[in-house]
A and B are shown apart, each in its own frame.
Chain A
Amino acid sequence: MPAEHADPTEALSKLRIAVADDNAAMRGIVRAVLSSLGCDKVYEAADASAALSLLQSQQIDILILDWKMKPMDGLELVKLIRDPERSPNPFLPVIMLTAYGEPSKVREARDAGVTEFMVKPFNAEALYRRLAVIVNRPRPFVRTKAFFGPDRRRLEADFNGLERRDDAPIS
């Protein structure tokens, strides 16, 4: 396998990407950008349960997910995806694409098991960067009593903060 792919659009054409957003225009915008980056296998879902059906019926590689949806929101879907008992693929990379930009929301998404976070409006370069990080440097997964998901410390190589992994309720 070559160290680095020469043609990113050809590489991205091999991925199956699902886009779950209750706003049809936003799904269309994301699809248009993905297509121009080379992703032509793009699947759309208008709500969380449709997204779940997609994950069950297709070999989806990456999910791009809106947060604010009804009746199940994107965060609940991420928690379900990260539940090995109920999920078709608990290791699925999930990019949360949302209008929420507050740090508290980023933390909430990360704590639910989101892989990457992206604030609307987004641009093509930001989306490509997230895809490249997911392909090139996937996060290890962490399992504690309270959490299963991508390691939340990837960007904190010299972590000196409070150890939070022991917050797990011990059964």
Chain B
Amino acid sequence: MTQREKPIEIINPPNMLKVKVGGKLPNADQAMIARAESALNNLKSEFGEWLAEEVAKLEEYLKAAKSQGMGGDMGEMLFTSAHDLRGLGTTYEYPIITRIAASLSKLIETPEQRETVPMSLVEAHVGAIKAAIIQNIRNADDPIGAQLAEELETRVIALVGERE
């Protein structure tokens, strides 16, 4: 028996979505995409406030994790908060925050990592995120921002290694 004869069932459900929308969707037209990007731009006035709220959450969880320990729920909440900032930073026009938050997420992703993480390195990440906002450092074009992000990433990789 060949491997292909192993118990594999291939199912081709009828394409009801194509029927529902009335045919194949064409390639994106640039006018439509421009409208969508413009809708996103209309939210820009809110981004500063939303980012401040996310960073406030990050600081709150850091404070709680420092008093309760990184091993419990607060360590997990801190990771979740960093992970959210990783996803939102660039949207909120701070790619450097996405980068620093990605480094922090990598540092504290698992409970095992959180148990042994040097708190000073966690605090350095949170401090760098706050500094980016205060000093309006948005991306790695800023030499200080780039150097800071690189230094944090290097220290995290030295501790937890590269991730695939």
A-to-B contact residues, CB < 8 Å: 1-6, 8-9, 11-12, 14-15, 23, 25-26, 28-29, 32-33, 35-38, 61-62, 68, 70, 91, 93, 98-100, 102-104, 120-121, 123-125, 128-129, 131-132, 134-136, 138, 140-145, 151, 163, 165-166, 168, 170
Contact B87 A121 (CB under 8 A): yes
B30-60 interface bits toward A, Cβ cutoff 8 Å, 1 = contact, 0 = none:
0011011111101100100010011000000
Of B17-25, B122-130, B131-139, the one contacting chain A is B17-25
B-to-A contact residues, CB < 8 Å: 3-4, 6-13, 15, 17-29, 32-33, 35-40, 42-43, 46, 50, 53-54, 80, 83-84, 86-91, 98, 102, 105, 163-164
Residues of B within 8 A of A165 (CB): 3, 6, 8
Contact A124 B88 (CB under 8 A): no
Known: A98-B87, A124-B40. A5 touches B25 (CB 8 A): yes
Name the CB-closest residue of A to B76: A70
Residues of B within 8 A of A33 (CB): 36, 39-40
Known: A136-B18, A151-B10. A68 touches B80 (CB 8 A): yes
Residues of B within 8 A of A37 (CB): 32, 36
Which listed residue (B43, B84, B102, B164) contacts A29, Cβ 8 A? Answer: B43
Contact A170 B28 (CB under 8 A): no
Known: A15-B21, A61-B20. A125 touches B26 (CB 8 A): no
Report how far A40 CA is from B53 CA in the complex, Å: 28
Minimum CB–CB distance for A27 against chain B, Å: 12
Name the CB-closest residue of A to B98: A121
Contact A5 B22 (CB under 8 A): yes
Known: A36-B36, A120-B87, A166-B6. A11 touches B11 (CB 8 A): no
Residues of A within 8 A of B91 (CB): 29, 120-121
Which listed residue (A6, A14, A35, A128) contacts B39, Cβ 8 A? Answer: A35
Which listed residue (A70, A120, A144) contacts B7, Cβ 8 A? Answer: A144
Contact A32 B164 (CB under 8 A): no
Minimum CB–CB distance for A37 against chain B, Å: 5
Report how far A46 CA is from B102 CA in the complex, Å: 23
